[in-house]
Amino acid sequence: MSDDERLTKYDEFCARAYTDTRLLAGTRELILAMAWVMQRDPDQPAPGEVFPRVKKLLGPASRWRPDGRRSRMSELIEADAPRYEPPRQVEQAASQAFCEAPRMRAYKPRGYVPRTKPDPDLIQPTPLHPRPPTIVHVLPGYVPPPEPTKQDPCGATGHTLIVEKDPATGWQTAHWFCRRHLDQAARVAEQVREQNELAPEPIPNRGGLLGSYFKADFATLYGKHCDHWVAPVYGVCADDWPVPGVDAVPVRPRLRLLVVGGSA
């Protein structure tokens, strides 16, 4: 391949990386560094020496680790590991969740009632100044929200979590219930029990973008740089994952990359 052809191919590769909305800043940094080493590096490292060169270019890790072996390249590879991340509502603490069951009764404002009644035999002090009226500052056009009714969700602090799995994707949805709606939680749990048992493995929704740009044994690469990572059944390339309701992503050309056991 001539220098002009190599330069054209590299420019097209960079243009694709910068217009790919799926790429995070760190993943784009890693992909561009790998492409530069493979296409534009004056030293032209051998196929098995690409990762040591990229590791040197990207420098040390952004955070300290006790083992001292983590590099910036290793951090970015770990961040791109294919995985499914459930929504925040599934993993949050119960104290941060709110009950979604319908309210048991409509909201009724209640006036202030003192805890103890004043002693009628005591002389009450004479108020020196009248209490000023309450002033509420709002923006022009402000409309106060309607008072809650029985049709609105309960909104009390969560206590019991019921996870619903999508029968097509395996993705999870959280249903939180408070202590007063445990019967509602039991009913929903029974309703989704069979559906959850038949749901497939969740389709990954994070990572897997290195495989969209390079051809390599990324299962081995991710396993080396990630702790307790298991390859998803759908593969390690984001282009190969099924997308419900969306046409399949067209297969695009990738740079071939050699992953050597001790060089990454």
How many distinct structural domains can be found in the chain?
2
| pLDDT over 90 percentage in the chain | 50
- Does 23 share its domain with 97? no
In a domain, 116, yes or no: no
Strands 255-256 and 172-177, how do they pair? unpaired
- Does 180 share its domain with 104? yes
| pLDDT over 70 percentage in the chain | 88
In a domain, 10, yes or no: yes
- Does 160 share its domain with 54? no
In a domain, 24, yes or no: yes
Give the per-residue SS3 of 65-99: CCCCCCEHHHHHHHHCCCECCCCHHHHCCHHHCEC
For the segment 74-91, the average pLDDT, to the nearest whole number, is 94
Higher-confidence residue: 209 or 134? 209
The pLDDT tens digits of the residues spanning 95-140 come to 999 999 998 887 777 776 766 777 778 777 777 787 788 888 889 9
In a domain, 264, yes or no: no
- Does 153 share its domain with 63? no
Q: Which helix (H) or strand (E) holds 193?
A: helix 182-198
- Does 80 share its domain with 90? no
Q: Please tell me the pTM assigned to this model.
A: 0.74
Q: What per-residue confidence (pLDDT) applies to 260?
A: 56
For residue 183, the enclosing domain spans 86-108+146-202
- Does 15 share its domain with 67? yes
> If you search the block for the tokens 């100044």, which residue do you land on?
129
List the structure tokens of 7: 């330069």
- Does 27 share its domain with 101? no
Mark which of 202, 217, 246 sits at the end of a domain: 202
Which of the residue ranges 205-209, 242-246, 250-254 would you say has the lowest mean pLDDT? 250-254
